[in-house]
Structure 1
Amino acid sequence: MKLIKLTAISAAVLASSAALAAEPVIVVDDNDAVVYEAEPASYAYDADAGVVSNTTGAIFGGTKTLFQTAINPASVSAEVGTLGYGANIGWSLNEKTELQAGWAGGDVADLFGGDFDVDDINYDVDSDFSNPYLGVQLRPAGNWFTMGAGIIVPDNDIDVRANAKNDNYRINDENYNADEVGTLEGNLEHRNKLAPYATIGFRPNITNNFGVFGELGAAYMGKTDATVRAVNGTDPIRGAEAAAAAETELEDKDYLEWMPIVKLGATYRF
């Protein structure tokens, strides 16, 4: 009889572990009840794919495993790109899905020359970016190819200053004398407080713990509000006209609605 009872208890424990039951297994022996805890899900690192696999076949094995996963991230990464210098933390849900939380910012303009052209005017740019983000990285084929999506919470300061050419600012097909206008300077601000983004990329491994990655994509930042001022000019009226024309020209550029995402980085996996 004891052998039968022990066999039944062992079978119950094994069955509960195989099914990843979050609830304890209770076996009644006459008047005594014995409680057996199910084992949490176990994970293994896949060096070829660069992901953490759930060897028991489930995303989470109950509340305890969810908590353990939350406080024990699968990876940390450092990055540099159009959103700035930054870092992120990743949590692997399974071999094809990883959640990410990160931040990128700083003076991005210095990375890309510090100027841009709008029609006939060249603008010097000084920036101070802050882009916290939440996203998910997918590996649809279970290999190094990735697809990402998420939300950025942008707080970016973009200051601009127009450069005169041949002592003139040419705005909307009209010439404004640089001495009369003075210096045209101002700032740009995107309207979106939440900016959705999407990327594609690659994440090959160098060792079991170290890897590199690259991503290409875009974030929709919304329409641009421009504020331009004319300072130190000899003709304030002419300066105000040039500033208003420059604001309109900056806001009419659709490409400023989209922030290109280009980033490179390195990852360490625990």
Structure 2
Amino acid sequence: MKLIKLTAISAAVLASSAALAAEPVIVVDGNEAVVYEAEPVAVAYQAEPVAVAYQAEPAYAYNADAGVVRNTTGAVVGGTKTFFQTVTHPAAISAEVGTLGYGANIGWALNDKTELQAGWAGGDVADLFGGDFDANDINYDVDSDFSNPYLGVQLRPTGNWFTMGAGIIVPDNDFDVTANANGPNFRIDNVDYNASDVGTLSGTLEHRNKLAPYATIGFRPNITNNFGLFGELGAAYMGKTNATVTSSNANGPVRAESVNGPVLGVTGQDVADKAKQQLEDKDWLEWMPIVKVGATYRF
């Protein structure tokens, strides 16, 4: 009985609602009464809604073929996974040899004309500079130990094989130098110091710059879809040099002769100090030439 009553009440309510919907509506506007005929409204009953999830396109996208993140800022901020994929999926790796040493670099393509590079070059490359140099009247043999990590950008401004590069080197280059006597003497500032009295003059050179900016131009032709060659010319500003020079007979007396006659009271270390000053005034390789060639594999 309760079910029948509830059904009857529900039907009555629905019928009343339909009837009310059909009744005219009287609206009084000022002194006039206007009658509006109400249109019946069709009521549709909807089943329970189904939840639908919409996935918005990400603001950044990793391109596995090119090693590109189209929106780098979005990748860094939006998620470490995409950034990690980019770092671990470089666009190219290269091997190189040149005045900075023997080394390699990894490149990440930012777009079709811009590539970020990180690399290292080093080793003993003194022979690439001739193996010796002159500081005023003294000739020095050179041994080197290079370490040049660098970070830079390679541009293809015209979209072809021509490239322009710029970046920063973190140099840690050591030069060991040994002076060669000119006959029986070392000549410094027009004074001849007896070489047998002086003994061996040896020392080190080190550039003062802890960060060295560089710039290059070059070419990077592709031989196949994956392999290519490159060559670069440029320079890095290494700054002035610090030198140390010692004599193997530092405290011993040294015979010295100038145009005005004998020079007295000279020791081996005095001669070494004069040689040190000449080396620092020389500023050898203040502008380090960059000449390199190499091969590239592109993924």
| TM surpasses 0.5 | yes
Q: CA 1:53–1:67 in 2, change beyond 3 Å: closer, same or farther? A: closer
Q: CA 1:59–1:207 in 2, change beyond 3 Å: closer, same or farther? A: farther
Counterpart check, 1:168 vs 2:168: no
- How many angstroms apart in 2 are the aligned matches of 1:219 and 1:181? 36
Amino acid at match of 1:225: N
Superposed displacement of residue 74, structure 1: 0.5
- How many angstroms apart in 2 are the aligned matches of 1:216 and 1:71? 29
CA contact (8 A) 2:249 2:268 kept: no
Aligned with 1:79 (options 96, 105, 112): 96
Which structure 2 residue ranges, 5 or more long, are not aligned? 1-48, 255-265
Counterpart check, 1:108 vs 2:122: no
In percent, how many aligned pairs have the same letter? Answer: 70
Alignment correspondent of 1:227: 244
The structure that has the greater radius of gyration is 2
- How many angstroms apart in 2 are the aligned matches of 1:191 and 1:174? 30
Which 4+ runs in 1 deviate beyond 6 A?
Answer: none
CA contact (8 A) 1:144 1:204 kept: yes
1:106-255 matches, within 5 Å, as 106-232=123-249, 235=253, 237-255=266-284
Alignment correspondent of 1:38: 57
**Could you report, residue by residue, the CA deviation over 1:195-251 in whole angstroms, capped at 9, with x for unpaired residues?**
111111111111111111111111111110110011147526432221111111111
TM-score by length of 1: 0.79
Of 75-84 and 36-45, more deviation after overlay is shown by: 36-45
- How many angstroms apart in 2 are the aligned matches of 1:42 and 1:151? 27
CA contact (8 A) 2:179 2:202 kept: yes
Superposed displacement of residue 256, structure 1: 2.9
1:5-24 matches, within 5 Å, as none
Superposed displacement of residue 151, structure 1: 1.0
- How many angstroms apart in 2 are the aligned matches of 1:35 and 1:246? 77
- How many angstroms apart in 2 are the aligned matches of 1:197 and 1:174? 39
**Could you report, residue by residue, the CA deviation over 1:68-107 in whole angstroms, capped at 9, with x for unpaired residues?**
2221000000000111100000000001111111111111
- How many angstroms apart in 2 are the aligned matches of 1:97 and 1:142? 9
Alignment correspondent of 1:9: none
Superposed displacement of residue 110, structure 1: 3.0
RMSD (Å), alpha carbons: 2.4
Alignment correspondent of 1:268: 297
**Could you report, residue by residue, the CA deviation over 1:119-138 in whole angstroms, capped at 9, with x for unpaired residues?**
22211001111111111111
- How many angstroms apart in 1 are the aligned matches of 2:154 and 2:284? 26
Which structure 1 residue ranges, 5 or more long, are not aligned? 1-29, 46-51
RCO comparison, higher one (Cα < 8 Å, 6+): 1
Amino acid at match of 1:262: V
- How many angstroms apart in 2 are the aligned matches of 1:43 and 1:34? 25
CA contact (8 A) 1:126 1:159 kept: yes
Structure with the higher fraction of residues in strand conformation = 1
Superposed displacement of residue 172, structure 1: 2.3
Superposed displacement of residue 43, structure 1: 5.0
